[in-house]
């Protein structure tokens, strides 16, 4: 492949067939007698009929616009960055006539996210391409965003090609490339997209026009998805920062937590707080609503509960009563569910109270059962507190599992079936996993929400807080 090759021009077959045209009139047969009144015969045209070229051109334009409309419609239906980038590569490869390609997402503002996705290229292939100096393949498009395209019609016949680029092209088996920048109308650079040809080739003028229109539309769509992705990431970061960065170490008990946040950010929380006299406070709860306001309300409510727990944690009813009063006075339009447990690990004794929250689950060798907590309305909806606290005596090796209602709601089942599914998942935990509260939480999470339901986008947050008593 070291010998120079004349560059090929990639063609595109029109999706709309060439229309049939009226043929020229046939000349009279040789044996026919001419009539004296007949008009003189006109010469038979030898070239295309008038208007044929215009009709062919119009048919081509209709075909191109139809194809472009279908491709942009498919792209617009994507609602996340990765599927959109994959669709961009597939549609672009059809438009430019290339079999392989890659798209590099590298926003010019430096805020990320940055990623590289390939079409017909494995992870090792992308790794090889990343070793090519940026300026040789598409680096100018990424570094400055200047220019409209980068064409290498015949890499092995090109003078001054970087040796590493030549080596990688030979190893991966591509002989030409065509690259375009991903730039929005506001001149914001998002990255670049490159298509690779197996043989020397380059797109013709028609293909370049179509791919240019498509990539401009794709860049605007990607910019919108990028903002959505960044907003989700910010909400997730804020929610995580408002929750414990690590769980405390308290003698006599092992702790583990699992948290799944919805795409809009939710108001579920958990907490584990060391208290005086070697005690431990555990809480889970959920604020109504979603989005930034719910996340902020969750942070305020959790911080207030910690303060009340330090002052009067041995009386869970008093803790939730104070929280109820605070919520009613400061945020009368919002309600919340909560469960607070005062644990004495040395005695394996748990005193808890709940407000509209699902009961905790006791998981041990000899029993798997829900704790019988008193029924109470959610916080913010109580006229007065009437539900007393309950005491639970855990046995050595038993795990108390606290959770939020999102674990049940994500199943899509009625609540009675969801509770039955949760109980069955807890009862099926293998003995080898029961000594590790993290393994207990993982088993319950993946059994109750199989097939990726635990990580799928949902309006419901999911929290599990497991405490195993020695």
Cβ-contact 123, 239 below 8 angstroms: no
Q: What is the pLDDT of residues 392-416, one digit of tens each?
A: 999 999 999 999 998 999 998 999 9
Burial class (CB in 10 A: 0-12, 13-18, 19+), 139: middle
Confidence check: pLDDT of 444 > 50: yes
CA distance 459 to 450: 17
**DSSP secondary structure letter of residue 394:** P
Q: Would you state the CATH architecture of domain 61-233?
A: 2-Layer Sandwich (3.30)
Cβ-contact 297, 287 below 8 angstroms: yes
Token readout for 70 is 């279908």
**DSSP secondary structure letter of residue 412:** -
Token readout for 383 is 């006229």
Confidence check: pLDDT of 41 > 90: no
- 29's CB contacts (< 8 A; 6+ apart) are none
Which position has the token pair 């075909």? 63
Confidence check: pLDDT of 23 > 50: no
Token readout for 245 is 């960065």
Mapped onto helix, strand or coil, the DSSP state of residue 320 is helix
pLDDT at 135: 72
Judging by DSSP bridges, how do beta strands 189-197 and 201-203 pair with one another?
unpaired
- 334's CB contacts (< 8 A; 6+ apart) are 287, 288, 289, 297, 327, 380
Q: Which residue has the higher pLDDT, 360 or 242?
A: 360
Q: What is the CATH superfamily name and number for domain 244-469?
A: PPM-type phosphatase domain (3.60.40.10)
CA distance 403 to 441: 10
Confidence check: pLDDT of 147 > 80: no
Confidence check: pLDDT of 200 > 50: yes
Burial class (CB in 10 A: 0-12, 13-18, 19+), 272: buried
pLDDT at 451: 83
Domain boundaries, the chain: 61-233, 244-469
Check: pTM over 0.95? Answer yes or no: no
Q: What is the pLDDT of residues 50-91, one digit of tens each?
A: 577 777 778 778 888 888 999 999 999 999 999 999 999 999
Confidence check: pLDDT of 28 > 80: no
């Amino acid at each position: 492949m070291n010998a120079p090759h004349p560059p090929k021009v990639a063609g595109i077959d029109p999706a709309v067939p060439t229309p049939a045209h009226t043929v020229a009139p046939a000349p009279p047969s040789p044996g026919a007698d001419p009539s004296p009144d007949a008009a003189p015969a006109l010469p038979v045209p030898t070239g295309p009929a008038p208007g044929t070229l215009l009709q062919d051109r119009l048919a081509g334009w209709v075909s191109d616009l139809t194809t472009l409309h279908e491709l942009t419609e498919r792209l617009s239906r994507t609602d996340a960055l990765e599927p959109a980038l994959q669709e961009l590569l597939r549609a672009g490869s059809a438009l430019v006539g290339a079999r392989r390609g890659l798209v590099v997402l590298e926003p010019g503002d430096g805020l990320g996210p940055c990623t590289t996705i390939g079409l017909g290229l494995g992870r090792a292939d992308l790794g090889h391409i990343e070793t090519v100096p940026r300026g040789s393949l598409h680096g100018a498009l990424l570094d400055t965003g200047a220019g409209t395209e980068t064409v290498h019609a015949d890499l092995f016949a090109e003078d001054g090609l970087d040796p590493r680029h030549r080596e990688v092209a030979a190893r991966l088996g591509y002989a030409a490339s065509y690259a375009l920048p991903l730039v929005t109308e506001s001149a914001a650079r998002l990255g670049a997209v490159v298509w690779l040809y197996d043989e020397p080739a380059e797109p013709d003028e028609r293909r370049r026009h179509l791919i240019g229109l498509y990539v401009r539309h794709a860049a605007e769509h990607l910019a919108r998805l990028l903002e959505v992705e960044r907003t989700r990431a910010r909400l997730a970061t804020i929610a995580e920062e408002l929750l414990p960065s690590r769980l405390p170490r308290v003698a006599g008990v092992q702790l583990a937590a699992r948290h799944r946040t919805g795409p809009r950010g939710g108001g579920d929380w958990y907490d584990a707080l060391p208290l005086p006299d070697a005690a431990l406070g555990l809480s889970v709860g959920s604020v109504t609503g979603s989005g930034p306001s719910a996340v902020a309300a969750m942070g305020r409510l959790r911080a207030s509960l910690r303060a009340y727990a330090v002052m009067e944690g041995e009386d869970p009813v008093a803790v939730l009563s104070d929280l109820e009063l605070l919520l009613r006075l400061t945020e009368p339009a919002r309600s919340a569910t909560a469960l607070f447990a005062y644990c004495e690990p040395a005695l394996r004794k748990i005193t808890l109270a709940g407000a509209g929250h699902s009961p905790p689950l006791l998981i041990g060798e000899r029993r798997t059962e829900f704790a019988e907590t008193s029924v109470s309305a959610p916080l913010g909806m109580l006229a007065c507190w009437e539900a007393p606290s309950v005491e639970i005596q855990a046995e050595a090796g038993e795990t108390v599992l606290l959770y939020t209602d999102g674990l049940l709601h994500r199943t899509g089942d009625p609540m009675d079936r969801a509770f039955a599914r949760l109980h069955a998942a807890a009862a099926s935990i293998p003995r080898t996993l029961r000594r590790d509260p993290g393994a207990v939480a993982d088993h319950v999470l993946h059994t109750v929400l199989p097939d990726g339901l635990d990580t799928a986008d949902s309006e419901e947050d999911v929290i599990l807080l497991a405490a195993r008593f020695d």
